[in-house]
A and B are shown apart, each in its own frame.
Chain A
Amino acid sequence: DTAVSQTPKYLVTQMGNDKSIKCEQNLGHDTMYWYKQDSKKFLKIMFSYNNKELIINETVPNRFSPKSPDKAHLNLHINSLELGDSAVYFCASSNLAGGTGELFFGEGSRLTVL
């Protein structure tokens, strides 16, 4: 069973379009994250939800909107896509209540904006 799964794995789209990436975790964790990895492999946190509440909201354009319908799901919607949005987006989860904060990552969603 996949612990953290993201869909789609690959996404190619035109500038100006709107797209969504979905994430689900079956680990029973209380916290989920979105990270963006650029072409140089640099990882930057974007958002985090704990028990469906937004707890981290880094400096991200408001074209990016996360939504967490429940603890096991965290989706990322992107409006008016730009060339600079091309990256690999990783979903992750962890337990804040106890544990050492280890993150479990999905396999990533590679977004290419043409």
Chain B
Amino acid sequence: GNSVTQMEGPVTLSEEAFLTINCTYTATGYPSLFWYVQYPGEGLQLLLKATKADDKGSNKGFEATYRKETTSFHLEKGSVQVSDSAVYFCALRGRGGSNYKLTFGKGTLLTVNP
């Protein structure tokens, strides 16, 4: 079945530091890949997505590139802010058949200190 593995953290950074959160996946075919963010006390929001190999998703300074050869979708940001403190989830959705559900990684808690 489909699965997502992401670094579990927690990750603690100083403001303006570089962020990488690793995510690798296992899936048949060509899944769509997503990063979701959950701010404290809120639901999940889509941060960015990529639907085919070599696509780069980007939003709010975050980027992730769909790498089929390494089955990875690592999240990066060049300079984090305190307001980026949240839990980040990598997720995939398979194609066709009964691949209706989004499969999530375990989440990575990011804390950014001023």
Contacts and interface: CB of A to CB of B under 8 A. Distances in A.
A56 B109 CA distance: 28
Size bracket, chain B contacts: 20 to 34
Nearest to A45: B101
Contacts of A40: 106
Given A100-B93, A108-B43, A42 B107 contact: yes
Interface string A3-36: 0100000000000000000000000000101000
Interface string A77-90: 00000000000001
Contacts of B34: 102
Contact of B87 (A33, A41, A100, A107): A41
Interface in B82-114: 87, 89, 93, 98, 100-102, 104, 106-107, 109
Contact of A100 (B32, B42, B43): B32
Interface string B44-73: 111001010000000000000000000000
Contacts of A50: 100
B44 A33 contact: no
B32 A101 contact: yes
Interface of B is mostly: strand
Contacts, number: 51
Given A41-B106, A43-B107, A33 B43 contact: no
A10 to B, nearest CB: 11
A75 interface: no
Interface residues of A, number: 24
B102 A96 contact: no
A40 to B, nearest CB: 7
Contacts of B87: 41
Contacts of B51: 100
A66 interface: no
Most buried by B among A50, A55, A103: A103
B49 A105 contact: no
5 contacts: A48-B101, A55-B98, A100-B93, A106-B43, A108-B43
The 9 closest A-B pairs by CB, nearest first: A105-B43, A101-B93, A41-B107, A105-B44, A43-B104, A107-B43, A100-B32, A45-B101, A100-B51
